[in-house]
């Protein structure tokens, strides 16, 4: 009888364990989204994908106003950078205005910022006024007016990442997780850089003594590769590049393709983030100088889709250089020439230019390839610093 | 793309390696649709896979001689990382033996599985266990290098492995430390013993615990109980470690929780008076089986295993002794005061509650709010000891204590 009482007491005590709720490990809801993406994705039958735009991409899509900065060239960019800085609070400014160092300049990746931390301030923390000032600056450094190229390509890239956020990628993805910083104080006399970097988009612009000294390493890519619609616009930020490479390779003769084909397989970029300055000592593949002029033009067309993302003045000088070096530039590939299957890879390696494009397995959208690409310059990465 | 992982277990005269190879990358290198149709892969392509792996794993001693490589068990399973999400991989157990007279700790690791074809693949090489250096599989593997394409020169270089030599003494000491750590962190083992000792200083009067039985009486009973527990777990630790007795860990862990419940009930009311020694020995056998599980996972050769059993057991005893020496004097002081009944019942109730929580956790394989609480509370054990000491001194001073003898 007494022994029974003890068992009852213990059972009673066990019941009290419910009062220990406060001790429970609190699971942080990792999927709670801070992004404003509404993400009402509608299924598609046409192969293109659809998503609503976030307030960020809407703000960035509005027409830019540069009237406050009447100057031209670097002086205007400095003026617009200062105008953007003027909209920031002191804490925001401290995060955005950093010192120039190679270490800071190297803080980019092809992973979302949540998996590989960036420096600077993220678009998600900017007000509409601040976003407008950021837009005015980017519009001045990137090319305007071409669908899916230049500034429009940047918006399309953000729209695609918003889409990944909405279909289950979670808050790690989306336009809010792209970062802008100034490395060194913007000026027309000293060394400084704009670094805009996020998941599938990194664009640095290095300035020194009032001139642009570097536009690389620039990372481009997109998932999904298919079209994404936002605010009644359809973006396919990185499809023209893929199509241009396919045209360049399928345009070659069978013999030329054999020379261009690499023996190894490539499931990602060779000179991606963290692989600075490791250009192969010997160039592989097919020398462009041995090709007919129409085939050479196809190579140049692919290169232009990278260089011409920058504003016309800046890109013209770079393009002149790459064109003059075209004959000594090599192209190579792995996989198929159609650049449409997982594992397809292409490279352009010149005396100065280095472009790689890798069509690789999907991460958020499984079993569907997506693109990674990097544009580097043998001597001009980080403005030669 | 996910990378490969090679985990080395360094023995006296061979290295056991575990390879983890993502199937998506293996397919790019080797084909055979290993990723597209990974079900039944080992049954379908086992011999070819072994032959392929052997061709691309070639450790070489400094004198130029290549090692003998044998590919053992192959399995496929799902893996996950935050960047790639879920992916499938092949795990292979590989044995690498240097030619006679060559050092197992110095070699060039020629390894290009997948990488011979997929130029963007990366292989992370780590040492998971090196007993003679005191590194045990219990802790995190230590990375020794990465094998990847030398992009500038377009070649794949072997990874030089050069491990400083260790000694049996270092291995032994590491095991002693592991034993001590095992008890220090093994709240359940300690709780069983402490609760069993709770009524040890008391005499039994009929169906109830009586008054303090004197220092001699208490010490004699303590010594018997602790020795019996030690004997019990030493026997199964030995038998379990050399593989004579193997029990699945779940029932063993449940039995350990039950043993705490039994000793808690006994601390409330004598349910096995005078037979504490036998009960301690019996449950000692159970606790020893759990200790053996730790040793068995190290997969050591006979010599190091013998030293490990010795060192591990020594560590367990040392820590056990330290805890008993720290707690018992206060319990004996307290047991001479009238308040001891309440202290004993409170201790027994809390231990019983913990036992129930652990039983639930181990039956359902899922921790509950109570076991989480125990983990948190256990971190404050040193303060608990301080409180116990202060309490016993205070109560002894306040109450008219019973004579010591």
- Span B37-71, pLDDT tens digits: 888 999 999 999 999 999 999 999 999 999 999 99
Note whether B219 and B200 are same-domain residues: yes
What is d(CA A288, CA A329) in angstroms, rounded to the nearest whole number?
A: 6
ipTM of the complex: 0.84
3-class SS at A227?
coil
Asked if the model's pLDDT at residue A66 lies above 70, the reply is no
Return the structure tokens found at A49. 């994908």
Q: Which residue of B has its CA nearest to A111?
A: B83
Note whether B139 and B180 are same-domain residues: no
Asked if the model's pLDDT at residue A362 lies above 80, the reply is yes
Note whether B38 and B49 are same-domain residues: yes
Q: What is the average per-residue pLDDT within A356-375? A: 93
What is d(CA A221, CA A136) in angstroms, rounded to the nearest whole number?
A: 24
Give me the percent of chain B exceeding a pLDDT of 70.
Answer: 99
What is d(CA B195, CA B328) in angstroms, rounded to the nearest whole number?
A: 11
B388 C-beta neighbours (distance < 10 Å), count: 18
Q: Do A264 and B118 lie within an 8 Å CB cutoff?
A: yes
Q: Do A20 and B370 lie within an 8 Å CB cutoff?
A: yes
Q: Do B152 and A280 lie within an 8 Å CB cutoff?
A: yes
* Prior bond of A224 cis (ω within 30°): yes
Asked if the model's pLDDT at residue A10 lies above 80, the reply is no
Give the helix/strand (H/E) hosting B21.
Answer: strand B15-22
Q: What is the pLDDT of residue A332?
A: 98
Assign A53 a pLDDT band (cuts: 50, 70, 90). Answer: low
Return the structure tokens found at A79. 């003026």
Q: Do A363 and B118 lie within an 8 Å CB cutoff?
A: no
3-class SS at B400?
coil
Q: What is the pLDDT of residue B291?
A: 85
* Chain A environment of B271 (Cβ under 8 Å): 3
Comparing B198 with A108, the larger pLDDT belongs to A108
Q: Is the dihedral of CA B283, B285, B286, B288 positive or negative?
A: positive
Whether residue A252 contacts residue A295, with contact meaning beta carbons closer than 8 Å, is answered with yes
- Total structural domains within chain B: 2
Assign A85 a pLDDT band (cuts: 50, 70, 90). Answer: very high
Choose among B154, B268, B356: nearest Cβ to A14.
Answer: B356
Q: Is B118 on the interface with A (CB under 8 A)?
A: yes
- Confirm whether B405 is domain-assigned: no
Note whether B106 and B210 are same-domain residues: no
What is d(CA A104, CA A207) in angstroms, rounded to the nearest whole number?
A: 15
Return the structure tokens found at A18. 């419910």
Choose among A10, A265, A360: nearest Cβ to B119.
Answer: A265
Q: What is the average per-residue pLDDT within B377-400? A: 84
Last residue of a domain, one of B150, B166, B182: B166
- The DSSP code sequence of B292-345 is HHHHHTT---HHHHHHHHHHHHHHHHHHHHHHHHHHHHHHHHHTTSTTHHHHHH
Note whether B360 and B328 are same-domain residues: yes
Q: What is the average per-residue pLDDT within B244-263? A: 87
Q: What is the pLDDT of residue B86?
A: 87
Q: What is the pLDDT of residue A88?
A: 97
Asked if the model's pLDDT at residue A31 lies above 60, the reply is no
> Among the listed ranges A60-74, B72-86, B123-137, B279-293, which one has the minimum average pLDDT value?
A60-74
B residues 86-115 near A, CB within 8 Å? none
Note whether B179 and B138 are same-domain residues: no
CA distance B355 to chain A (A): 10
Q: Do A268 and B349 lie within an 8 Å CB cutoff?
A: no
What digits encode the pLDDT tens for the residues A285-322? 999 999 999 999 999 999 999 999 999 999 999 999 99
> Among the listed ranges A5-14, A323-332, B186-195, which one has the minimum average pLDDT value?
A5-14
Q: Is B370 on the interface with A (CB under 8 A)?
A: yes
Choose among B83, B207, B372: nearest Cβ to A115.
Answer: B83
Residues in chain B: 405
Whether residue A280 contacts residue A216, with contact meaning beta carbons closer than 8 Å, is answered with no
Last residue of a domain, one of B166, B197, B218: B166
A contact test, residue of B31, B83, B119 with most A CBs within 10 A: B119
Q: Do B370 and A111 lie within an 8 Å CB cutoff?
A: no
Assign B101 a pLDDT band (cuts: 50, 70, 90). Answer: very high
- Confirm whether B57 is domain-assigned: yes
Note whether B305 and B385 are same-domain residues: yes
Asked if the model's pLDDT at residue A12 lies above 70, the reply is no
Q: Is the dihedral of CA A323, A327, A328, A331 positive or negative?
A: positive
Note whether B132 and B276 are same-domain residues: no
> Among the listed ranges A49-53, A313-317, B344-348, which one has the minimum average pLDDT value?
A49-53
- Confirm whether B383 is domain-assigned: yes
Q: Do B357 and A14 lie within an 8 Å CB cutoff?
A: yes
Q: What is the pLDDT of residue A34?
A: 32
- Which value, to the nearest 10 degrees, does the dihedral of the CA atoms of residues A363, A366, A368, A374 take? 10
Q: Which residues of A297-327 are buried (b: 16+ CB within 10 A; e: fewer)?
A: ebbbebbbbbbbbbbeebbeebbebbeebbe
Asked if the model's pLDDT at residue A232 lies above 50, the reply is yes
Give me the percent of chain B exceeding a pLDDT of 90.
Answer: 51
What is d(CA B200, CA B220) in angstroms, rounded to the nearest whole number?
A: 9
Q: What is the pLDDT of residue B400?
A: 64
- The DSSP code sequence of A140-175 is HHB--SSTTSHHHHHHHHHHHHHHHIIIII-TTSSG
CA distance A185 to chain B (A): 34
Q: Do A2 and B207 lie within an 8 Å CB cutoff?
A: yes
Q: What is the average per-residue pLDDT within A371-382? A: 97
Domain that holds residue B281: 169-398
Average pLDDT, chain B: 90
Q: Do B28 and A343 lie within an 8 Å CB cutoff?
A: yes
Q: What is the pLDDT of residue A241?
A: 97
Q: Do B82 and A115 lie within an 8 Å CB cutoff?
A: yes
- Confirm whether B404 is domain-assigned: no
Q: Do B207 and A269 lie within an 8 Å CB cutoff?
A: no
Note whether B155 and B186 are same-domain residues: no
Return the structure tokens found at A166. 């909405």
Note whether B125 and B43 are same-domain residues: yes
Assign B370 a pLDDT band (cuts: 50, 70, 90). Answer: confident
Q: What is the pLDDT of residue A355?
A: 98
Note whether B193 and B333 are same-domain residues: yes
Q: What is the pLDDT of residue A67?
A: 65
Note whether B327 and B225 are same-domain residues: yes
CA distance A23 to chain B (A): 6
What is d(CA A270, CA A357) in angstroms, rounded to the nearest whole number?
A: 10
B contact test, residue of A3, A5, A6, A11 with most B CBs within 10 A: A6
Whether residue A301 contacts residue A246, with contact meaning beta carbons closer than 8 Å, is answered with no
What digits encode the pLDDT tens for the residues A151-184? 999 999 999 999 999 998 889 999 999 999 999 9
What is d(CA B175, CA B164) in angstroms, rounded to the nearest whole number?
A: 19
Asked if the model's pLDDT at residue B185 lies above 90, the reply is no
3-class SS at B3?
coil
Q: Do B1 and A267 lie within an 8 Å CB cutoff?
A: yes
Q: What is the pLDDT of residue A18?
A: 39
Question: Which residue matches tokens 């016993």?
Answer: B392
Return the structure tokens found at A196. 């805009």
């Amino acid at each position: 009888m007494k022994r029974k009482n003890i068992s009852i007491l213990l059972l009673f005590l066990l019941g009290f364990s419910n009062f220990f709720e406060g001790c429970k490990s609190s699971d942080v809801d990792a999927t709670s989204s801070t992004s404003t993406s509404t993400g009402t994705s509608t299924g598609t039958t046409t192969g293109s994908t659809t998503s609503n735009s976030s307030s960020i991409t809407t703000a960035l899509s509005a027409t830019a106003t540069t009237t406050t900065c009447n100057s031209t060239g670097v002086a205007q960019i400095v003026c617009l950078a200062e105008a953007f800085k003027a909209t920031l609070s002191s804490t925001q400014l401290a995060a955005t205005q950093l010192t120039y160092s190679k270490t800071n300049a190297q803080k980019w990746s092809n992973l979302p910022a949540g998996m590989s931390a960036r420096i600077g301030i993220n678009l998600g923390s900017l007000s509409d006024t601040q976003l407008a000032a950021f837009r005015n600056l980017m519009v001045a450094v990137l090319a305007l007016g071409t669908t899916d190229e230049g500034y429009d390509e940047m918006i399309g890239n953000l729209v695609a990442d918003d889409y990944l956020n909405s279909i289950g990628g979670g808050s790690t993805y989306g336009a809010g997780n792209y970062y802008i910083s100034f490395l060194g104080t913007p000026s027309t006399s000293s060394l400084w850089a704009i670094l805009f970097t996020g998941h599938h988009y990194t664009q640095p612009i290095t300035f020194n003594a009032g001139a642009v000294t570097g536009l690389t390493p620039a990372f481009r890519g997109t998932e999904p590769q298919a079209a994404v619609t936002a605010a009644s616009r359809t973006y396919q930020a990185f499809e023209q590049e893929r199509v241009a490479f396919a045209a360049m390779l399928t345009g070659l003769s069978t013999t030329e393709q054999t020379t261009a084909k690499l023996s190894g397989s490539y499931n990602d970029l060779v000179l991606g983030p963290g692989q600075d300055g490791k250009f192969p000592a010997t160039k592989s593949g097919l020398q462009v100088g041995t090709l007919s002029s129409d085939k050479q033009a196809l190579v140049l067309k692919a290169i232009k889709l990278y260089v011409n993302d920058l504003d016309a003045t800046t890109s013209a000088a770079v393009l002149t250089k790459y064109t003059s070096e075209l004959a000594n530039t090599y192209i190579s590939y792995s996989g198929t020439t159609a650049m449409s299957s997982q594992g397809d890879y292409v490279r352009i390696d010149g005396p100065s230019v280095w472009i790689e494009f890798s069509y690789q397995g999907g991460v958020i959208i499984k079993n569907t390839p997506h693109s990674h690409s990097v544009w580097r310059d043998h001597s001009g990465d980080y403005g030669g610093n | 793309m996910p990378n490969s992982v090679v985990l080395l277990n360094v023995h006296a005269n061979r290295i056991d390696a575990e390879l983890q190879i993502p199937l998506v990358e293996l397919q790019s290198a080797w084909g055979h649709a290993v990723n597209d149709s990974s079900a039944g892969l080992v049954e379908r392509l086992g011999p070819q896979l072994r032959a392929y792996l052997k061709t691309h794993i070639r450790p070489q001693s400094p004198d130029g001689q290549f090692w003998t490589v044998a590919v053992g068990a192959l399995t496929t399973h799902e893996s996950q990382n935050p960047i790639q999400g879920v992916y499938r991989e092949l795990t292979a157990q590989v044995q690498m033996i240097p030619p006679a007279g060559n050092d197992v700790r110095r070699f060039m690791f020629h390894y290009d599985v997948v990488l011979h074809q997929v130029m963007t693949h990366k292989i992370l090489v780590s040492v998971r266990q090196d007993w003679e250096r005191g590194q045990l599989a219990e802790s995190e593997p230590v990375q020794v290098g990465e094998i990847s394409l030398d992009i500038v020169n377009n070649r794949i270089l072997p990874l030089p492995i050069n491990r400083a030599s260790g000694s049996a003494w270092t291995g032994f000491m590491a095991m002693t430390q592991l034993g001590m750590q095992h008890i220090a962190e093994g709240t359940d083992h300690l709780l069983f013993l402490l609760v069993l000792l709770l009524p040890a200083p008391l005499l039994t009067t009929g169906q109830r615990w009586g008054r303090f039985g004197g220092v001699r009486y208490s010490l004699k009973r303590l010594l018997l109980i602790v020795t019996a527990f030690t004997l019990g777990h030493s026997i199964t630790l030995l038998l379990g470690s050399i593989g004579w007795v193997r029990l699945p860990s779940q029932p063993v862990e449940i039995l350990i929780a039950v043993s705490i419940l039994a000793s808690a009930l006994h601390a409330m009311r004598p349910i096995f008076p005078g037979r504490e020694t036998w009960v301690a020995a019996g449950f000692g056998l159970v606790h020893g089986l759990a200790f053996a599980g730790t040793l068995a996972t190290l997969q050591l050769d006979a010599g190091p295993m013998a030293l490990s059993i010795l060192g591990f057991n020594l560590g367990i005893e040392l820590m056990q002794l330290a805890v008993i020496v720290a707690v018992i004097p206060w319990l004996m002081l307290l047991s001479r005061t009238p308040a001891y009944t309440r202290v004993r019942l409170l201790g027994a109730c809390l231990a019983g509650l913990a036992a129930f929580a652990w039983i639930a956790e181990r039956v359902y394989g899922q921790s509950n709010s109570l076991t989480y609480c125990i983990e948190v509370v256990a971190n404050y054990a040193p303060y608990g000891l301080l409180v116990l000491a202060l309490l016993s001194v205070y109560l002894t001073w306040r109450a008219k204590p019973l004579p010591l003898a």
